[in-house]
Amino acid sequence: VGGLYGFNRLAIGRDASIGIYGRSFTSTVVALGVLCSTLSSSDLRRVIGCDMVELRFKVGVIVPPRYFDTAAEELQTLSPRIDVLHTQMRLDQTFDYELDEMAETAGEIEQCAVSLVDAGAEVVLQLGTPFSSVHGWERGSELQQSISDRLGVPFEMMGLSVPAGVHALRATRVAVACVYYPTGYTAHYSAFLTGAGLEVVGARSFVDQGLSDDVDTVWAQSFEGFEPALVMDSIIEVGERFPEAEAIVVPGIPGKILSLIPAAETAIGTPIVSYYALWWKCLTHLQHPPGGPSGNLFALLS
């Protein structure tokens, strides 16, 4: 009945008792349909109450070309009520992740975002750090706001969400575990963080740490992800080497590490902020706390 009357955000719970009988049922369903189709999920949740309904959230995710996907699994682990809609950037086959190439993708990202909103997304997320950081903090933020204004729903870029998370934690001095980044990427990213008002006290990559001998091999492997244990060893080494850092920043998407973050933060006594700041931004917009402990950043939502 809900689908017939157009409310796609509402699922009546098994134990819900609504108390609608006789001829009033149809008019009540129509009224609910109008309500559910005009309010955001967060507003609807406040109006109706979670004891009666289970609300679903539609989140759109823009994935870079040829990249493995971390979005659905981790985001839906944080909240099983989230339904993820994916689209991938449609770029030329010669696209090779050079910084100057990524600076030209803003139009494609915007079109992908529009398609996701047309499919029902209430929040749109863009994966891939350099697609925003390549513009610098100020211009990247302007791009993000411009796209959000066109969409009429929140739009968040991963590269911008990380400094935003650091600021939310009230940290200013950061060390960078730049994992698979080559030297040029690391220098550019450090400048981006500085532009965001952060002080970079040091940076270390897998190669710097002796965890890999070959920059090219590490870069190629980044498209599939690394063993979580390797990534966490790298992050913890950075935390121990730079104890003056108030937060450890991890650019890019080195692998699915969110479940390991609470223990690592406890071990080094420092917050760690990485790609999952995008999930934090998403849950903030949905006004929906995570389903369990996920580290210092997500604790801000509790």
Task: Return the higher-pLDDT residue of 147 and 64.
Answer: 147
The pLDDT value given to residue 16: 35
Q: Cα 107 from chain centroid?
A: 20
User: Residue 82 has what pLDDT?
Assistant: 94
pLDDT for res 220: 87
* pLDDT at residue 223 tops 90: no
Task: Identify whether the C-beta of residue 127 lies closer than 8 Å to the C-beta of residue 154.
Answer: no
Query: Is residue 244 exposed (0-12), middle (13-18) or buried (19+ Cβ within 10 Å)?
Result: exposed
Segments of the chain assigned E as strands: 10-12, 53-55, 57-63, 82-88, 123-126, 155-157, 173-179, 199-205, 247-249, 272-273
- Phi, psi of 80, rounded to the nearest 5 degrees: -60, -10
Average pLDDT over the chain, rounded to whole? 85
Residue 35: enclosing H or E segment and its boundaries? helix 24-38
> pLDDT at position 31, please?
47
The H helix count followed by the E strand count for the chain is 14, 10
Pair 265, 296: CB distance under 8 Å: yes
Strands (E), 48-122: 53-55, 57-63, 82-88
Per-residue pLDDT at 98: 86
Cβ burial, residue 279 (10 Å; 0-12/13-18/19+): buried
State the burial class of residue 92 (Cβ atoms within 10 Å of its Cβ: 0-12, 13-18, 19+). Answer: exposed
pLDDT at residue 257, as a whole number? 93
3-state secondary structure of 199: strand
User: What pTM was estimated for this model as a whole?
Assistant: 0.82
Q: Where are the domains of the chain?
A: 10-55, 57-299
Check whether 27 has a pLDDT greater than 60. no
Q: If you average pLDDT over residues 198-214, what whole number do you get?
A: 94
Report the distance separating Cα 265 and Cα 169, nearest Å: 13
Using the predicted structure, report yes or no on whether residue 260 has a pLDDT greater than 50.
Answer: yes
Question: What is the rounded CA–CA span in Å between residue 219 and residue 84?
Answer: 28
Return d(Cα 228, Cα 226) in angstroms, integer: 6
Please give the residue that has the higher pLDDT: either 175 or 13.
Answer: 175
DSSP letter for each residue of 215-243: HHHHHHHTTT---HHHHHHHHHHHHHH-T
Report, as an integer, the average pLDDT of 106-126.
97
Considering only CA atoms, give the Rg of the chain: 21
Which CATH number applies to 57-299: 3.50.50.60, 3.40.50.12500, 3.40.50.360, 3.30.460.10?
Answer: 3.40.50.12500
Percent of the chain with pLDDT over 90: 65
Q: Is 103's pLDDT higher than 50?
A: yes
Taking the C-alpha atoms of residue 291 and residue 299, their distance in angstroms, rounded to an integer, is 11
DSSP summary character for residue 259:
G
Three-state SS at 19: coil
